[in-house]
Amino acid sequence: MSDLSAESLGLKSVGSVYHNLSYDELFEHELNNKEGRVASSGTMMIDTGKFTGRSPKDKYFVQQDPSQEYIAWGEVNKPVSVEIFDELYDEVIDYLSGKDLYVTDGYAGASGDTRISARFITEFAWQSHFVKNMFLRPELQELANFAPDFRVYNASNLTNTKWQGHGLNSEVFVIFNIEKNIAIIGGTWYGGEMKKGIFTMMNYWLPLKGILSMHCSANVCADDEVTIFFGLSGTGKTTLSTDANRQLIGDDEHGWDESGIFNFEGGCYAKTIGLSEESEPEIHGAIKRHALLENVVADDDGVVDYFDNSKTENTRGSYPIEHIDNHRPGLKGGMPKSIIFLTCDAFGVLPP
């Protein structure tokens, strides 16, 4: 239980607030709430409902000064008015107020100079588990004085019934208000919305400080030579960077400043379709207690069939980076020696 007040959370009232639970406590809540079932590896398995991936067409930014001058508006970065945001924000606050909630605090950015503190307010224990896996976990002394720079309100069961009148894409919404340092999520259970939401904000903040934000993985060899791997989802960033002979800096999101490369996250989010101990032993070994499996198929004994794509091709496993034995302490490296661009070129567009 927590001593966080409704006022400190920006809510009108609260039920029970479960603040920064341990992995074991989250596991018990997930079981007691019947949010998932346990795999034979000891890993919690959950389903994310009809959304097994992100909803990029439902992502918006509040169009207002001064941030609107620094956003490349278009199909990817779509505007929404202050009035529509305020209306949906009020609905989210009304919806979450009075409920039992899970509140999780974490950092984004392994470089202390530009680290961002984020607070996630969620309905379900597994959502708290997910962000605990994915973000940098504060030390106990840091939690004592934790002050969030950014808050994410995840009202995943709330849909926008007025979406057509608002001129939006659907009843799902993921909206960022940069001036208020708030994001609201509704209508989708997919945990990756929270992960990519903070990445989105890092992509806004860091370039304003002269730091390159990158969708890439990174590792380092024994001679301290850093390699980074760029590529879209599914091109092999996590698999190739997780190498028994090299230290893993991170598998997905990084910054590049005057000192070198640094991870944004404290965990990995691996695709698990086709996963086997023979082909990807480090990732397979990371799927254990404290990891979280999404949308996988398992038999009655909890044995996962990683080749079953009946729910989705985008089956996933999140886990703290400490599950990879040879991760890089501090999650930072020097200037990259090698930069590799990965592509899944099924049509032969690129020359050999």
Active site residues: 54, 196, 215, 233, 237-238, 252, 316
DSSP assigned state of 137: P
* Cβ contact 343:231 at 8 Å: yes
The letter for the amino acid at 68 is Q
Cis peptide upstream of residue 281 (ω within 30 degrees of 0): no
CA atoms of 345 and 20, how far apart (whole Å): 43
Short-list 149, 38, 156, 56, CA closest to 99: 156
* Cβ contact 183:177 at 8 Å: yes
Sort 5 into a burial class: Cβ within 10 Å, 0-12 / 13-18 / 19+.
exposed
- Express the helix, strand and coil content of the chain in percent, nearest 5 each: 25, 30, 45
Locate 232 and state its tokens. 């879209």
Cis peptide upstream of residue 66 (ω within 30 degrees of 0): yes
CA atoms of 107 and 119, how far apart (whole Å): 9
Cα–chain center distance at 281: 23
Cβ count within 10 A of residue 164: 11
Give the CA dihedral 154, 218, 277, 347, nearest 10 degrees. Answer: 90
